[in-house]
Amino acid sequence: METNIALRNSYGLLVNSFYELEPSFADYWNRESKPKAFFIGPLCLNRSPKTEPVLHQEYCRCIQWLDQKLRQGRPVLYVAFGSQAEISAEQLSEIARGLEESKVSFLWVVRKVGIQLGEKFEERNKERGMVVKEWADQKRILEHEIVQGFLSHCGWNSVLESICAEVPILAWPMMAEQHLNAKMVVEEIKIGLRVETVNGSGNGYVESESLKNMVKELMEGEKGNQSRKKLKEVAEAARNSMKEGGSSWHTLNQLIKEIHLQHETQK
């Protein structure tokens, strides 16, 4: 309640998105709702190489592995579901089986030490798959040229990072706004596919056979290729929005001018 009251009384709302991605929503919000929304993203494009943090050891290990797959010419599927969703041991086993049977190379961030992915799963797939149980720099991994797909929960930061890296998404939303994000990714801007669940619900159980088929379609099929073509357009629009003279650049400058003017008026 306090958050809603504070939002209602605010001068504006900073949105980590860009006008070209969702123009109808941006226009509708600023016509019908308060406070005014300022679309100033994607903020993931604003990280300067000069301010990059010291490389994490796990990141270096991931990049070395990806470089190896690049030399082998084997496209990689990046798999990560964020840090909040709880996935059952049974479901994790189904995911592991689906990835293994797909015969696709994969880098899977599970983030929890002690998680079991099936008997000797990592050993059997050590040449084709990498399992990371520590922190991983998702943005940099997605930007690696051999990464050609992203099995994701569709958190908004993940969606934007995937767009900017031109990596199509295989959407499996689990909670909060992820279902809306997945719908946008698959049905509105058409930059990815969606996993098929047993009961057809957004966050239902996913069987290994279904996951295997969707992974192969994303990485090797025509629908995956179509998503990549569409992504080039969306990614270019994202980059242009953040450049000097772009929509997000103009919006941020507009906000600064408005606040400055208001401050001068109140003197």
**Within-domain flag for 42:** no
CATH code, domain with 206:
3.40.50.2000
In a structure prediction context, what are the per-residue pLDDT tens digits for the chain, which is 267 residues long?
Answer: 998 899 889 999 999 999 999 999 999 999 998 899 999 999 999 865 545 555 566 668 899 999 999 999 999 999 999 877 788 888 999 999 999 999 999 999 987 655 678 778 989 998 999 999 888 899 999 999 999 999 999 999 999 999 999 999 999 999 889 999 999 999 999 999 999 888 665 567 899 999 999 999 999 999 999 999 999 999 999 999 999 999 999 999 999 999 999 878 877
The 10 Å Cβ neighbour count of residue 42 is 24
Q: Which two tokens stand for residue 40?
A: 């100033």
**Within-domain flag for 215:** yes
**Within-domain flag for 55:** yes
CA–CA gap between residue 6 and residue 87 (Å, rounded) = 34
Strand partners, 105: 76
- Return the beta strands (E) in the chain as ranges: 12-15, 36-39, 76-80, 105-109, 129-132, 147-152, 169-171, 192-194
Asked if residue 116 lies in contact with residue 226, where contact means CB atoms within 8 angstroms, the answer is no
Q: How many domains does the chain divide into? A: 1
Which residue carries 């990815």 as its tokens?
Answer: 192
Determine the pLDDT at residue 57. 66
**Within-domain flag for 28:** no
Asked if residue 153 lies in contact with residue 85, where contact means CB atoms within 8 angstroms, the answer is yes
**Within-domain flag for 44:** no
Determine the pLDDT at residue 86. 81
Determine the pLDDT at residue 225. 96
The 10 Å Cβ neighbour count of residue 103 is 12
Whose CA is closest to 239, among 48, 41, 25?
A: 41
Residue 185 lies in domain: 49-238
CA–CA gap between residue 104 and residue 214 (Å, rounded) = 11
Q: Which residues contact 145 (CB under 8 A, 6 or more apart)?
A: 70
Whose CA is closest to 168, among 177, 179, 154, 176?
A: 154
**Within-domain flag for 37:** no
Determine the pLDDT at residue 60. 82
Determine the pLDDT at residue 89. 87
In this structure, which amino acid lies at residue 122? E
**Within-domain flag for 18:** no
**Within-domain flag for 35:** no
Determine the pLDDT at residue 211. 96
pTM attached to this predicted model: 0.91
